[in-house]
Amino acid sequence: DTGVSQNPRHKITKRGQNVTFRCDPISEHNRLYWYRQTLGQGPEFLTYFQNEAQLEKSRLLSDRFSAERPKGSFSTLEIQRTEQGDSAMYLCASSLTQGNYNEQFFGPGTRLTVL
Amino acid sequence: AQTVTQSQPEMSVQEAETVTLSCTYDTSESDYYLFWYKQPPSRQMILVIRQEAYKQQNATENRFSVNFQKAAKSFSLKISDSQLGDAAMYFCAWRYGGSQGNLIFGKGTKLSVKP
């Protein structure tokens, strides 16, 4: 296991289309996070899972966004009816839950461009 | 709400010299962590160094060290003996000290290293 992986790495879509991204965390990590990073900004938290349960969602996660982690392993992030403002890098991170300090390991991200 | 501010959008340093990146934060929490992450161009984000708020001693990792001033809510990163591979975006981040919690990032500082 070489770390967190994300697919696809790049996605170009037309406004109004649906897109889905996948994140595979480090195998023993039970916590998984999604962040969005727009140009010139730091990553912003979207949501996170502990095992298959989605425990927190940011107000940034509009109704067009849905995230799942059905078996507590990989996760998908779907954006419906994409808008140009959705263009960003979508980052996934995973961590353990042992103790208070749980380093988050990041994937390479999926860069979304909405035309 | 917690905020993280990085006031230097870009910094430049000569190879082998020392550079300091600034970060300030605002929180009413007493238990939290602070981090510096490095994001090289087109590569994934990695943790450089972390600091527990309850520790007075400044964290050090090889050429990287922090100056943590809790009362001033300041958390700067010093990179000594800068190397070409240090060129990257550097993000300061805050996280609540409990077992759960997403990261709150600053906007980042782009560091260039001149040979």
Helix (H/G/I), strand (E/B), else coil: B90 = strand
A18 and A81 Cβ atoms separated by less than 8 Å: yes
In this predicted model, what pLDDT tens digit does every residue of A76-91 receive, in sequence order? 999 999 999 999 999 9
Residue A100 in this model has a pLDDT that exceeds 60:
no
Contact A43 B33 (CB under 8 A): no
Stronger pLDDT, B1 or A94, i.e. the higher one: A94
**For range A59-82, the mean pLDDT:** 94
Residue A103 touches partner B, C-beta closer than 8 Å: yes
Query: Which residue in the set A56, A103, A106 is minimally distant from B44, CB to CB?
Result: A106
Residue A40 touches partner B, C-beta closer than 8 Å: yes
pLDDT band at B100 (very low <50, low <70, confident <90, very high): low
Question: Rounded to whole angstroms, how far apart are CA atoms B31 and A95?
Answer: 19
Contact A42 B106 (CB under 8 A): yes
